[in-house]
Amino acid sequence: MKNFLIVVVVIALIGYIASKGADVYNARGALDKVAEQQLGFVDENSQPAVKQKLVDEAGKLGIDLAPGDIHITYEDTDVRSIEQKFTAKIAEFINKRVAIQLSYTAHLVGIPLRQEIAHSRIRQIQARQKERPEMQQLLDATPQ
């Protein structure tokens, strides 16, 4: 009888830990999706609003996330997409690299687990047609 109670307690404890582990895993996955969605809203002026949105969403998920734990990068880059490389002879592109990095501590049965989430994307912010001298000569030669 004593062994039976020990087995029941151990199984209940394992079930509880597994349940809490699943909660931590699901919360991390949901915050990961929110961080990825917020990449599209980052620009020079919106970084504080994006940080606040991430803090609010983390709070809804039961994650304690401070604005200081969020690092947002919005910088020029020379990286080009395949499509941009194909059209490089006729157009110029300005791209920005947007990155969001989050770090927080999740607790699993009192054990702190450091969690990191990072997403990055290259975003085209401007495209303009290149000046082509041969086209200008054709336009100048055409009678008005």
pLDDT at 138: 66
pLDDT at 136: 66
Domain membership of residue 120 as a residue range: 2-141
Q: Which two tokens stand for residue 134?
A: 């041969």
Residue 39: count other Cβ atoms within 10 Å of its Cβ: 16
Q: What is the Cα–Cα distance from 70 to 58, expressed in whole angstroms?
A: 11
Number of domains in the chain: 1
**pLDDT single digits (tens) 87-113:** 877 788 888 999 999 999 888 888 898
Residues lower than pLDDT 50 in the chain: none
pLDDT at 128: 77
Predicted TM-score (pTM) of the model is 0.76
Residues 6+ apart with CB under 8 A from 32: 117, 119
Q: What is the Cα–Cα distance from 131 to 138, expressed in whole angstroms?
A: 13
